[in-house]
Chain A
Amino acid sequence: MGVMDQVELPKPVRYVFNWGRKFSLWCFNFGLACCAIEFIAASTSRHDFIRLGVIPFAHGPRQADLLVVSGTLTDKMAPAVKRLYEEMPEPKYVISFGSCANCGGPYWDSYSVTKGVDQVIPVDVYVPGCPPRPEALLDGIITLQHMIQHESLPDRIAGRRQDAVTLGADAPLTLEGR
């Protein structure tokens, strides 16, 4: 991002800049479980979130602006989602899609499920439902776009650097498991 994350842009420039950013969200779908099917449904002809500027063809996290975590995150999977998130360039946004990703959902008392993806990475928008309808994802995306339109990038980046990520803060997370 260079100077963008350090210098506050003048208001009109920021408006145009944010307008451009909010309608070109390259999206990386981290499809974990049932919700991934509804994510695909949202990307096909009937619901078609490409009309909102969300492009679901990012080749990997390094090309993506938006991470949609759809499905149950297990403790075994948590290091992978953290690593994918860290591979994404700033500014990056996360939508937690579905009850499992929000809080553990129907597996609230399971021994192997992470109770919410926000224990691992910071989340911007939570979409509730089990699984949420494709319309709910569209609503979540519009909420996120509204947020992007009115945000100040330097503030966001400054806030991000103070974000404490709890899981794995003391012990390094590896793909081999904890």
Chain B
Amino acid sequence: MFKKGAWIIGVLYLLTVGVHASLYAQGPSVTASVDKNKILLGEPVLLTLEIRAPAGDKVQPLKLDSIPHFEFLSTDSIAREDTDGQQVIRQYFRITSFDSGRWAIPPIVLSAEAKTASILMDVVFTDPFDPSQPYHDIQDIRSVPFKLGKQFEKWWYLAALLLVMITLVVYWMTGEKKPRAEAKVYKSAYARAKQQLEALKASRVPENRFYARLVEILRAFLSERAGVNSLQQTSGDLVEKIKPLFTDESLYHSLEQVLALCDLVKFAQYDPEDAEAQSAYEVIHKGVDHIEEGIRHAAKLKKEERAHSVKESGEVIHKK
């Protein structure tokens, strides 16, 4: 009786285990693998996850974005295939580590029943690490291949420059010579005023314009030579301003009259005689000469005075 009971229990046990094993074999499974177990610091390693499940089961790829001590470099594409009534999903991750040591990629869990085994990884500085070797740069010094052009580049430039110079010298010595442009000669305000007066005399401008030009020449000369802002002054103001420049009283009064005459021509349509034009021209001409002479004389006196004062101060120092 006892034996019969034990046999039934044994059969039931085996039945239970068998059914369970059969049920278990039909669920999804996951495995993880790496292409190498020993890497240098920062060296990429390919982590492959393979999920197997019966065809028709709804299985989603794993979302894996962090593993302690490892960095994810990239997540490669997911491959799916169906073979013998099974679906296989392969996921590829490129990971690396910047922490030296022995680290474990922990079990990656798909479900309570399906998880990977942990994988041991060695992360090392060098391979193999030989403490007896001397210190050196991260990368070994590599020799640069010898190139002729690079070495002599500057010489090429120098040669080209020399060639251009020789060509220019040869052209200059043998080529057709162009007439040199006339250099601009700086003319003083006085010389320019004299030249403009001569040009005005030679020209045949209408009377109204003649008088206006006469005053313009005088004003421009005074503005440049005597520093009087004559272009913005009325004739009356101008006459007052230039008074100190005149030592010849009669010439000053003549100039005053000429300026008044010019105003009459310009602003009152006055039609002067030819003799008046000639006389006005001469007064302005003499006036310009007189002012120039006065300015030069004043400059000379100032220079002499300065030289005298320097000499005097020198004597005083000498006596002391």
- Asked whether A and B interact, the reply is no
**Residues of chain B at the chain A interface (Cβ within 8 Å):** none
**Residues of chain A at the chain B interface (Cβ within 8 Å):** none
